[in-house]
Structure 1
Amino acid sequence: MTRQQSTRTELARLGFADLTRSRELLDEFDPEILPAFAGAADPDQALALLSRLGASASPLLADPDAAARLIRVLGASSGLAEFFARHPEHLDALAERLDRMPGPEELREDLLASVTDVAGEAAWGALRVRYRRHLARIAAWDLEQPDPLAAVDSVAATLADLAGAALDASLAVARRSLTFPAEQIAATRLAIIGMGKAGARELNYVSDVDVIFVVEATGSLGTDVALTIGTRLAMQTSRGIQDLALEPALWEVDANLRPEGRDGALVRTLESHLAYYDRWAKSWEFQALLKARPLAGDLELGERYVAGVAPKIWSSASRENFVESVQRMRERVTEHIPAQDVDTQLKLGPGGLRDVEFTIQLLQLVHGQHDVSIRQRGTLPALQSLADGGYIGRAESAEFSRDYRFLRLLEHRLQLARLQRTHLMPTDPDSLRILARATGVQASADSLVAAWQRTKHEVRSLHERLFYRPLLSAVAALPEEGLALTSEQAKARLAAIGFTDPGGALRHIAALTSGVSRRATIQRTLLPVLLQWFAEGADPDHGLLAFRRLSDDLGEAYWFLRMLRDSSGAARQLTHVLSASRFVVSLFERIPEAAAWLEHEEELRPRPLEQLLEETRVTVARHAGDTDAAALALRTARRREVLRLALAGILGFVSIEELGEGLSDVTTAILTGVLELAHPHDDEFEFAIIAMGRYGGAELGFGSDADVVYVTRPTGASPEGAAKGAERVVRELARLTEDLRLPLELDLGLRPEGKNGAIVRSLDSYRAYYARWSLTWEAQALLRARGVAGSAALRRDFEAMADEVRYPAKITEADVREVKRIKARVEAERLPQGADPSRHLKLGRGSLSDVEWLVQLLQLEHAGSVPALRTTSTLGALAAAEAAGLVARKDAVRLKEAWILASRARSALTLWTAKTADVLPRDSRQLEGVARLLDYPPGSASRLEEDYLRTTRLARQVFERLFYGAPLRGPSTRG
């Protein structure tokens, strides 16, 4: 490669487009500055402008940091380059890095100083030059930030402060230029109120500065004279900023937001302003006043203006049709965009800045009537306050904030380029490439466009969901017009968003919001949000009814009201679980205080078994002598912990494996407690409970039976006496665990001889039975046997005995054929009549049974030689089989996916219906409820069905190949 080729390659890598021209221009400069062009948005422009500046830039180029700073500014802004070309003496503004943004007073003092000793028109020229010097420093700071999105707020606030300082300096010049008597000018107080982005301290690089002028006469000066002088001051102040002169205008001073707009007086007294807003102002004018702030001039007068209009702003939402009028105004703004600009408008178009701003302002005006915390001027602070107050979700707030900053960043870079007011995205590839480099957050034109389109979609979606939130207008008027929610329009809107019984919903709403209690006030304010969240759930009607009952149960509980008001995440989670699960609602009716857990994620984590057992011991000790009271306390604790796990499962805080372990631990805790009540002493016989099936594997789901077997061992009594005593314990266990609210079915079907066998046996009896009579299925059942309660020694001895049966050194072909025969029989006989085998979650094709039987066959075959297979966990054994090379990775993945999906769907069915069911429903509403609990988006019933059928079909293929089709492997071939 030649040196010329090498140079061209390097230039291309740095971002140059015109390689020939760039090589020629670079000959003028020290090669050491070349790497600095990598940080320029447009390296070609930066180089050309640097060449134009010539020797005046030499002092900066001698310092690598200053050179990089200058090149970044030139590459991003030809407008600032033009300023430096006119005033090269101000290039030193970039000599030092700006460590922090200057404050408003610092800027005001500096700009006032720039005009202090300058007379006439020259003073305004000096002001504009000084302003642009500061602008260059702000831009340089902005362009070198590692996170430009995070810098947007500081840049916008400083630009607003700079605008206020410029108005103050121009006003000072105006006061000197008037021909009125000096004492009259001095007696005329003029406040300049910042509106829009200037008032909110979120100004752009080049933006109209919206203002309102307020005048006041002091001393003996008459009001008419003060109005005349104030008007001249306002005109001259604006002229100094925006009229044509040798130094270009800064921006337009826009006073069209004043009373009566362009047709109204430019300057009014405070009293005149307030009178106008009392009598004539339209709804949009109060929306505009949200951002009013004393910006320049007499700040004390400005503060009185802001204080005077504030009550009018925050009562405006109660006006008739206020919300609809704001919504229509936003629509009119969109309608007036030229057709050719709609798709490229950053500010006014769909998904643009105005969507964010209008949404937030409307929510502020509606909810700010009663909540002072959201009375913020700035868009982002207001958004944060709305999220903090629960009026929008924290996720929505974070998404809106991120999108708003991204759009503002694009707007800043576009305006900085030529120091011209623009809100249109470029469409040509070169301009998009330069803009992508300027933002520092996108690497290419394509990625920038993709990010912008994604942002527009997100913003528009959030805007439509929040800005047009159903019942917002009715709730805005509710404090004065409580019957507004009984209108047919309200019913229609409720029906439109998913409520099947709008009339019933309105009755619940009325019950929740009637009266003057603190609870009613907060719920009246929050209902627009809550209703939308309920509407997003699978059963909005049931969710709203459950919320009403929960609110009635908790009454004026401070923590509940505070949670609703201040914790949007918790409130949203509450609406989600109430509209998603009848199972949860039934438990909430007994344990309403559990709603407090939603504020703290750690409260929704499964409690460790040790902690549960400690609570069990304390409960039994506290109720010593009162068995029934102790059992009731244990059953209540079980309900509480199951509710905790249900909430965690619905909200996605636990995996299906963690859920299975948690539910198994809760079952172990209650069985440990009731066993201590039923058999408090071990002096006659030992007693232990052995978990079997899914309980033994720590894989319980909601609604699962607890498969157990009971074992005893005489210690002091005769074998006959011990047997009778053990039977009494079993009967007492059944009585003490009986719970109609949350049944606990202790299933003994896996005991020796099944339903025909003894309900409890001694360890010796078990050992003798398994040695002489055990069938293959009984050895298979022992694969998940695990001691959970009672005598620790007896549990260990039982498990040791079970190991001899379930982990044989070898297994005969006849035994393997028996396992396969029984599995085929189960498929043929145990599946309920008429049930679709492809939809049965437990016994269907590719479902739980297929995975578990295959894994258990592998354990029977190989656990004798592969110790890792000696586990009661289905997934644990499957992983061990894969690690041992007994199951291929792809097959193991398919089996695991099917087992997890079937397990999740089975629990979801119970959560949704509060009934135990094993068949994937066909009814679309039921299927939708299950899908939503499995984290599918709305309208995904058919998608869940397709996913389940596909996943289990693939798992069935693996099962049939490995279970029925493969020959025996390893040790089994020697049986």
Structure 2
Amino acid sequence: MTAPGRRSSTFSRLLRHGFTDPSAAERLLESGELSAVRSDPVLLDALGATADPNLALLGLVRLLEAQPDRTARRALLDTLIAAKPLRDRLLGVLGASAALGDHLARHAQDWQALVTYEPRDLHPGVEEFERGLAEATDPVSLRVAYRRCLLSIAARDVCGTTDVAQAAAELADLATATLRAALAIAGAAAPEDAELCRLAVIAMGKCGGHELNYVSDVDVIFVGETADGADEQKAIRAATRLASHMMRICSETTVEGSIWPVDANLRPEGRNGPLVRTLSSHLAYYQRWAKTWEFQALLKARPVAGDLELGEAYVTALEPLVWKAAERENFVTDVQRMRRRVVENIPAAEVDRQLKLGPGGLRDVEFAVQMLQLVHGRGDTSLRSGTTLDALGALAAGGYVGRTDAAGLDAAYRFLRSMEHRIQLYRLRRTHLVPEGDDDLRRIGRSLGLRADPVAELNREWRRHAAVVRRLHEKLFYRPLLDAVAQLAPGEIRLSADAARERLVALGYADPAAALRHLEALASGVSRKAAIQRTLLPVLLGWFADSADPDAGLLNFRKVSDALGRTPWYLRLLRDEGAAAENLARVLSAGRLAPDLLMRAPEAVSLLGDGDGVAGGAGGLEARERAHLEQEILAAVGRADGAQQGVTAARGVRRRELFRTAAMDIVGSYGTEAFPATADQGALVDLVGGAVSDITAATLAGTLRAVVREGWGDTLPTRFAVIGMGRFGGHELGYGSDADVLFVHEPREGADEQEAGRAANAVVSEMRRLLQLPSADPPLLIDADLRPEGKTGPLVRTLNSYEAYYRRWSLVWESQALLRAEPVAGDEELGRRFLELVDPLRYPVGGLGDDAVREIRRIKARMESERMPRGADSTLHTKLGRGGLSDVEWTVQLLQLQHGHREPGLRTTRTRQALAAAREADLVSAEDAAVLDEAWVLATRVRNAVMLVRGRAGDTFPSHGRELAAVGRYLGYGPGHVGDMLDDYRRITRRARAVVDELFYGG
């Protein structure tokens, strides 16, 4: 029994040496062979230097207990005390890996594999590992031999004899030797199959790239050919059997555990494709069907086992295709989309702990490097390395990546891979998650040389390196473009003009020469403005590249910057407010309408920030209430010198608010980091329609005030109101919609009726004239053709005149048109009385008679046949086409006319609200209502998209490829998926037409 004083002394020494559980360690040191360790500073110091001294001591005790006798135990201890290299290696492994400690406890003599000391520059390769596996003749013995070789790699790794890149290369070489041994075992088990075929094993992924983890799937592709003129089908079947057996040997679990899974899912057609193909079959697939990511994967292809001559032929045959991948349309977008998909599939609870796949993780470095290799490796063979760090070094040496950025990524990648190695080494389990427990973090931190406060230091270093990767992994692609044009650091290797153009083409720029001129104009020079632009542009270029028209995005950004470059708040807003820069990039590259609006008033950029506008006016993208808009416009009109200046001021506010709405729509559709894409597209459609309608109403109110103020002072001799009709009255205006209206007046008490009539007509004429004056602002056309008697009738009538007409002459189509009537400007009381007048027409008691229903159906059929443009595709026409706006709206309006008198919910001018009310009243089934609503929302979004993209209204999809792609991007379809967009539109509207046929036409 140890004396208390002595025990206390040992306990303190163990604490000083890093033992977290000194009591348990003290009990282990009581055993006979280890009793000397308590007083031996050599072994105690060595244990204290390990990642986990308690784990190392426990592993040593188990190893000693596994020795055959006391003499062997004593000999092992004496050797450890005498031989520092062995002591450091063995205890280092035991302190870092419980799994390898288990192996040594089962195979008590394998520690002798660590006795030989190699100089720092001597590292085993495939041949040495093959010799270490040579005696393995079955899966069990192969696993034992594999772990013995792994033991030596881990020992060099934890002792710092190798760095992380060398350790990863050794692991890949060990995997190569293991694949060869497994294939030999499979061949020995079926010699007749081995004679029938030639089989090549191509390593992919980290094994192919000489950068394997401790525990990882080993990705492979198999190539098979006939041997000695054998039948090809028989040969491929034989090769498939050999390949399958080889995979089982490596993957299956035995009493010695497993080695690692062999994964062949990178082969053509993935798990659905044949396991083994001939070389010609591989080549045909990659020439015709392969996706961008498959060529990216082939960067790391390397023959490792089987028929190496056949393997080399495979790599040689596919190499030209790999280096043409960057010429594929949407190449960069495809790669970036694949990366985003990986991140999106990470469980939310794991994102912050993911070393490999999460933001700022290993995959970010690898994807960035591989993109640059594929773009520039076509002409520069020095970049064609499958190893990430070698390729990164070659990119820096060639000027494709800034040296500082490359050094930062290199250091981050090495640190993150070292963490990954240490995490996997502990249990030899495949994981990329950083553990959460302090004990695990402490062991990992100590294994990386962080000793003062291992947990805090590890977390700090990990976050710092991840932040470096997050900052650089996309900028890496763009920053050298700026260095190429800025020319600020003489003597530094920079991207050549050809390489810069090559990179811009890969990013989707159709005119790389113009893009370089824009970059030079924005970023060259030593001014503060240019310096800020060099900070902003790497990120902006990425957002432009993510659009359907990067050229337009960059050109528009240059125009805005030229207009606002001397404004102190502009660049500060983009630099300091996280949302503003991305919002601007999305808006400038989404089409013509929003940039055109912005160019006429560049200060509206301030609306794109997080808070209040910098340059006046309410900030942010949230639509403003109509009352506030009207108040601002009326105040501007009141300050103006005359009606024309007043209307100009009103149109200026309208321009700014249309830009705000378009920007809100684009950001809501595309999504940004600060504002994810709006999931409820119907809500976005309602927001846009309501906002544009409110802007139009406020503009008309301001125009009316300006006209009356100039011609009659404060009081017009007649009351006057503007009634919104059609989409205007329904709060559903699009960006390019005309304003359908009716004008109504009522002479004031004591006023001369003829004078009042002349004044009302003069107001209407002047309003239309002023709003149609040539201007840089978007036109606002007032359409009064829905008035009684149409184009031949008077523009404005008294309330009594409307009453007389509707009583005597009103037709059913006019009742239908009045369903959308809503006062929008002028005398509110008069507007309310107009609605009281027309309510009996639009919500008739008892609904519609059969003749009226037939007449509505006849008018609609005639409209479809006469108004559909010649040659238009009726399946893609958003207004008059099958299942389009007209189909849905006329169906809903027929329900309103038939049931509006007894169903108050139907008494609304808004299509979607009326449809929802019809569903609530059981006039339409929930399923049919959903079908109609989806079609109406989609058709409305397509019309809005066309206007945003082309800058002019249209009722069908654009024919120009880039414009069609931009519409697709707005609707959520990525590059290369416009066909899916058109198919989806046809499918959704076809279903809607089936409902319309049932509800409107009666089946």
> With structure 2 as the length reference, what TM-score do the two structures score?
0.56
1:621 corresponding residue in structure 2: 638
2:658: which partner in 1? Answer: 642
Which of these residues, 764, 772, 789, is aligned with residue 730 of structure 1?
764
Contact conserved, 2:400 with 2:494, CA < 8 A, in 1? no
Task: Label 1:932 to 1:467 Cα distance change in 2 as closer, same or farther (>3 A).
Answer: closer
Q: Which among 779, 782, 793 is matched to residue 815 of structure 2? A: 779
Q: Structure 2: state its 5+ residue gaps.
A: 1-18, 31-37, 58-83, 85-94, 100-119, 121-153, 168-295, 307-353, 370-388, 442-465, 612-618, 669-677
Check conservation: 1:204, 1:411, Cα contact below 8 A: no
> Equivalents in 2 of 1:874, 1:868: separation in Å?
12
Q: 1:717 aligns with which of 751, 755, 765?
A: 751
Cα offsets for 1:403-426 (capped at 9, x unmatched): x8xx99986653333xxxx58569
| CA offsets 1:317-352 (integer angstroms, 9 cap, x no match) | xxxxxxxxxxxxx99996799889xxxxx9899999
Q: Among 694, 708, 712, which residue is 2:741 paired with?
A: 708
State which of 629, 649, 652 in structure 2 corresponds to 1:633: 649
Deviations 1:776-833 (A, max 9, x none): 0001000000001100110110011111211100222111111111111111112222
TM-aligned CA deviation for residue 131 of structure 1: 5.0
**1:577-656 counterparts in 2 under 5 A?**
577-600=587-610, 603-623=620-640, 625-652=641-668, 655-656=684-685
Aligned pair partner of 2:860 in 823, 828, 853: 823
Shift of residue 527, structure 1, vs aligned partner: 3.1
Which residue in 2 is equivalent to 1:254? 160
Does structure 2 retain, via aligned residues, the 8 Å contact 1:347–1:423?
Answer: no
Q: Could you tell me which residue of structure 1 aligns to residue 915 of structure 2?
A: 878
Match of 2:532 in 1: 522
Deviation at 1:841, TM superposition (A): 1.1
Distance in 1 (alpha carbons) for counterparts of 2:155 and 2:162: 19
Q: State the Cα distance separating 1:500 from its structure 2 match.
A: 1.2
Q: Please tell me the residue identity of whatever aligns with 1:801.
A: L
Q: In structure 1, what is the Cα distance between the partners aligned to 2:360 and 2:900?
A: 63
| 1:676 counterpart (683, 705, 711) | 705
Q: Measure the CA separation in 2 of the matches of 1:596 and 1:347.
A: 38
Letter in 2 for 1:710: F
The question of 1:548 aligning with 2:564 is answered no
Pairs aligned (count): 636
Distance 1:709 1:90 in 2: 99
| Structure 1 residues 514 and 206: alpha-carbon distance in aligned structure 2, compared to 1, 3 A threshold | farther
Q: Is the 8 A contact 1:334 1:349 kept in 2?
A: no
The alpha carbon displacement at 1:889 in A equals: 1.2
Match of 1:607, SS?
coil
Residue in 2 aligned with 1:415?
A: 425
Identify the residue that residue 511 of structure 2 maps to in structure 1. 501
Distance in structure 2 (CA, Å) of the matches to 1:504 and 1:959: 50
Give 1:124-139 correspondences, 5 Å limit: 124-125=45-46, 127-128=48-49, 131-132=52-53
Is contact 2:478–2:542 with CA below 8 Å preserved after alignment? no
Note if contact 1:84-1:90 (Cα within 8 Å) is conserved in structure 2: no
1:501-521: CA deviations, max 9, x gaps?
111112112211222112222
Shift of 1:463: 9.8
**Letter of the aligned partner of 2:628 in structure 1?**
Q
- Structure 1 residues 90, 930: closer, same or farther in 2, change over 3 A? farther
Within 1, Cα distance between the matches of 2:643 and 2:861?
46
Give the direction of change, closer, same or farther, for the CA distance of 1:663–1:351 in structure 2 (3 Å limit): closer
The one-letter code of the counterpart of 2:653 is A
Alpha-carbon shift at residue 964 of structure 1 (Å): 1.0
Give the Cα–Cα distance (whole angstroms) in 1 for the partners of residues 856 and 51 of structure 2: 90
Corresponding position: 1:475 with 2:381: no
Q: CA deviation at 1:963?
A: 0.8
The residue that corresponds to 1:154 in the other structure is none
3-state SS of the aligned residue for 1:490? helix
The answer to whether the 8 A contact 1:634-1:670 is kept is yes
Distance 2:626 2:861 in 1: 38
1:793 counterpart residue number: 829
1:574 aligns with one of 584, 590, 597: 584
The residue that corresponds to 1:838 in the other structure is 875
CA distance, structure 2, for counterparts of residue 851 and residue 788 of structure 1: 25
Q: Deviations over 1:938-967 (max 9, x none)?
A: 22211111111111111111111111125x
- 1:803 aligned to which of 821, 839, 842: 839
1:853 maps to which residue? 890
Q: 1:682 Cα deviation (Å)?
A: 3.9
Alignment of 1:752-763 (within 5 A): 752-763=788-799
Aligned residue type for 2:735: F
Q: Is the 8 A contact 1:851 1:959 kept in 2?
A: yes
Structure 1 residues 116-140: Cα deviation after superposition (integer angstroms, max 9, x where no partner): x97731540562589535999xxxx
CA spacing shift, 1:480–1:787, aligned 2, 3 Å: same
Q: Is the 8 A contact 2:544 2:589 kept in 1?
A: yes
Q: Give the CA deviation at 1:256.
A: 6.5
Instruction: Show CA shifts across 1:429-484 (max 9, x none).
Output: xx9xxx9xx99xxxxxxxxxxxxxxxxxxx9xx99994695454443454236996
Alignment of 1:105-120 (within 5 A): 120=41
CA contact (8 A) 2:703 2:767 kept: yes
1:723, 1:485 → 2: CA distance? 74
Seen in structure 2, the aligned counterparts of structure 1 residues 532 and 621 have a Cα distance that, compared at 3 Å, is: same
Residue 944 of structure 1 corresponds to 981
Structure 1 position 540, deviation (Å): 1.2
When residues 474 and 693 of structure 1 are mapped into structure 2, their CA distance, relative to the original with a 3 A threshold, is closer
Offset at 1:672?
1.0
Q: Deviations over 1:7-42 (max 9, x none)?
A: xxxxxxxxxxxxxxxxxxxxxxxxxxxxxxxxxxxx
2:718 and 2:98 mapped to 1: Cα distance? 89
1:655 deviation in Å? 0.4
Q: In 2, distance between residues paired with 1:470 and 1:368?
A: 8
Q: Which residue of 1 aligns with 2:972?
A: 935
Cα 1:339–1:664, aligned 2, differ >3 Å: closer, same or farther? farther
2: CA distance between counterparts of 1:333 and 1:963? Answer: 59
Rounded to whole Å, the distance in 2 between the matches of 1:514 and 1:583 is 30
Q: 1:349 to 1:612 in 2, by over 3 A?
A: closer
| Cα distance, 1:253 vs structure 2 | 4.2
Whether contact under 8 Å (2:726, 2:817) holds in the other structure is yes
Report the Cα distance in structure 2 between the residues aligned to 1:766 and 1:204, rounded to whole angstroms: 91
Q: Report the AA paired with residue 919 of structure 2.
A: E
Distance in 2 of aligned mates of 1:684 and 1:467: 66
Aligned to 1:628, the other structure's residue is in SS state helix
Rounded Cα–Cα distance in structure 2 between residues aligned with 1:868 and 1:120: 89
SS of residue in 1 equivalent to 2:600: coil
Alpha-carbon distance between aligned partners in 1 of 2:608 and 2:894, rounded to the nearest angstrom: 43
**CA RMSD after TM alignment:** 5.0
Alpha carbons of structure 1 residues 347 and 814: separation in structure 2 relative to 1, 3 Å: closer
- Contact persistence 2:400–2:495 (CA under 8 A): no
More displaced 10-residue stretch of structure 1: 752-761 or 597-606: 597-606
Match of 2:718 in 1: 685
Unaligned regions of 5+ residues in structure 1, if any? 1-79, 92-116, 137-176, 178-202, 208-233, 235-247, 262-329, 341-345, 383-403, 440-458, 967-975
Distance 1:468 1:599, change over 3 A: closer
Which residue identity is paired with 2:788? P
C-alpha offsets along residues 700-738 of structure 1, whole Å, 9 cap, x if unaligned? Answer: 111011111100000142221111100110012113323
2:555 is paired with a residue whose SS is helix
Tell me by how many angstroms 1:675 deviates: 0.9
Superposed, 1:249-398 pairs within 5 Å as 252-254=158-160, 354-356=362-364
Alpha-carbon separation, structure 1, partners of 2:743 and 2:985? 37
Quote the offset at 1:886 in angstroms: 0.9
